[in-house]
Structure 1
Amino acid sequence: MMLTYLTATFGFRATWNPELMVLTASIGIAYFALIGPLRHTFAQATPVSLRQKALFCIGLLLFYFGMGSPLNVAGHFLFSAHMLQQSLLYLVMPLLLLAGTPSWLFASLPERKWARTLLRLTTHPITAVLMFNALFSFYHMPVILDMAMNNLAMHNLIHLPLLLTALLMWTPVIAPLPQLHRLTELQKLAYIFASGVLITPACALIIFAGAPLYGTYVNGPTMLCTPFFSAPVDKSMLAVPLQALDDQRLGGIIMKLMQEVTYGSVLAYIFARWYRKEKDQPDDQLLPH
């Protein structure tokens, strides 16, 4: 019912974003077309597991769902939908894409000096975690978010760096290249905990604000922006089911809960892997020499 209403109101292009649909499908086709032939060009390249393929595909689906589906449209009118979109795009999707990409696909990058230098700088744990969380907080400043929601250039200027820095933020944890394995398992636990602490002030400000912070969700947007085009909004056709302040608080809670669940799941996985590794070590390796 809601999908039919959105499609009828804003049209197929605005609601389903066929350009992004094609782009997402093209990335998926390229992934499956390349992982077979390319593997044979790299020494000691392991086959891509079914689990990796599934994770990559789910990540791609979340990318489209966040950027090109009706959730993107709903995010212009409901802050809670916007924060669900943000959670999927920047907390969950990059993690799945990195986990689903075999390390040998990145193997040619470190051969180039400029790539090695850039990777060392942007994937350093301190740089990566600060860049993402600073940009995320900057985006949710009222004046910036209101501007991005009603301006196509600003919309893309913010979302593209956020997507990139989200990938970089997860890189010290997933480390798709052997050269990037800087953190021990214990350090990864501390890194994820620190990232959760850094994102908390933005969520807390949104949840505990005494008044609506964003004019877009009080007065309604004037434009509907997607990655490839924007269209004017006829506000007479809108019916928002929540009061702006309640919607804002719900959005902050959704973001915090999604962050807790995602980070908590990764923490549990890393801790379990670390525990198994320590448990499997022979006793003589645990004794000082």
Structure 2
Amino acid sequence: MSPATGSATFSDLWSPDVMLLSLLVTTVYFLLTGPMHKRFENATPATGKQRLLFVLAIVLFYVAQGSPISYYGHHYMFSLHMLQQSILYFALPPLMLLAMPEWLLARIFSPKALKLILNALTHPLVAALLFNSLFSFYHVPFIFDAVAINHEWMTFYHIILVIAAFAMWWPIVSPLSDNKRQLAGLKKLSYVFANGVLITPACALIIFASEPLYATYIAAPQLFQSLDAFNDQRLGGIIMKLVQELVYGCVLAYVFYHWYKAEKQDDLPMDQSFGAEKPTF
């Protein structure tokens, strides 16, 4: 049952445990990619751009998991819950992957078991179907309501979805130079477009439903008089679709630009193209 409106404590709204975790992870990252990188063979410090992206990713993580967005999204507003998911699945993974130095990511996945799991989950077809299927199943009303009333199950499902989201982004932004799952050119464009198509039915179900779907929010106290459960549900679907379209649109534009630039470079005479650097993203 949802708590009474206004009963939230500072700890409920700002999650000190999530803040502590965020600070701890940030400290470890800056130590490993800064003064401690010399302890690892062939390791180089993180670039200024990578550090900036990492800080931005951690800030977004805290906003999604530790700010009032998480509390009110869980107890009162479906639209805030969808905003939280949009950040965790579409903004956080690419930023985090781009922030990781190649040597650090390679060492994390150096154990054979982890490497096998990584290779299995990041196959483009598997990654796209896994994430979008899990996302769609999560928003089936009876599944959503069953998970929502059990904090442990919701936490577990969200962790699985975040892992699936990282796997889904891996073929697009993995920094590993020997990554066989990294797509290029038109294949990368097609992959991003396919993910946009696969997630559309779940968003459409939420946006165009003729009635409120989730008992969790139908029974929740109404925070805004002009935003009932039905309109809040539609707003949530629109937020998810807009954020997804915005992120995928930016990625498509970036990938297309660099693919086109590389193609033009390949068409240049040898003396003009010598020394040109091709993008890895």
TM-score (norm 1): 0.85
How big is each residue's C-alpha offset from its partner over 1:259-287, in whole Å with a ceiling of 9 and x where there is no partner? 100000011111111122222225457xx
Q: Does structure 1 retain, via aligned residues, the 8 Å contact 2:33–2:44?
A: no
Residue 246, structure 1, aligned to residue 231, structure 2: yes
Aligned-residue offset at 1:114: 1.9
Per mean C-alpha deviation after superposition, the further-off stretch among 91-100 and 272-281 is 272-281
Contact map agreement 2:200 2:241 (CA 8 A) in 1: yes
Shift of 1:35: 0.3
SS of 1:94 mapped into structure 2 = helix
Q: Who is 2:278 aligned against?
A: none
Residues in 1 aligned to 2:141 and 2:160: alpha-carbon distance in whole angstroms: 18
1:68 matches 2:53: no
Structure 2 counterpart of 1:153, one-letter code: E
Q: Which residue of 2 aligns with 1:184?
A: 184
Within 5 Å, give how 1:1-289 maps onto structure 2: 9-42=7-40, 44-75=42-73, 76-109=75-108, 111-182=110-181, 183-220=183-220, 239-241=223-225, 242-281=227-266, 283=268
- The answer (yes or no) to whether the contact 2:14–2:67 under 8 Å persists in 1 is yes
Partner of 1:228: none
How far apart are 1:178 and its partner, in Å? 2.3
| CA distance, structure 1, for counterparts of residue 37 and residue 157 of structure 2 | 35
Other structure's SS at 1:179 match? coil
Q: Give the Cα separation in 1 of the matches to 2:213 and 2:266.
A: 53
Tell me the CA shift for residue 111 of structure 1. 4.0
Specify whether residues 63 and 110 from structure 1 end up closer, same or farther in structure 2 by C-alpha distance, changes over 3 A only: closer
* Cα RMSD (Å): 2.0
- Map of 1:231 onto structure 2: none
- The CA distance in 2 between the partners of 1:113 and 1:84, in whole Å, is 36
- Equivalent residue pairs, number: 264
State the one-letter code of the partner of 1:177.
L
2:56 maps to a residue whose letter is: I
Matches of 2:71 and 2:217 in 1, distance apart? 13
> Once superposed, which parts of structure 1, at least 4 consecutive aligned residues long, lie more than 6 Å away?
none
2:8 aligned counterpart, secondary structure: helix
Distance in 2, Cα, partners of 1:240 & 1:98:
38
Give the conservation status (yes or no) of the 8 Å contact 1:196–1:263: yes
Distance 2:179 2:211 in 1: 44
* Gaps in structure 2 of 5+ consecutive residues: 271-281
Cα deviation code 1:104-151 (max 9, x no counterpart): 102225543222221110111111111111111111111222222221
Give the SS at the match of 1:10: coil
CA contact (8 A) 2:79 2:233 kept: yes
Shift of 1:62: 0.8
Given that residues 106 and 177 in structure 1 are in contact (C-alpha distance below 8 angstroms), is that contact kept between their aligned partners in structure 2?
A: yes
Identical-residue share of aligned pairs (%): 46
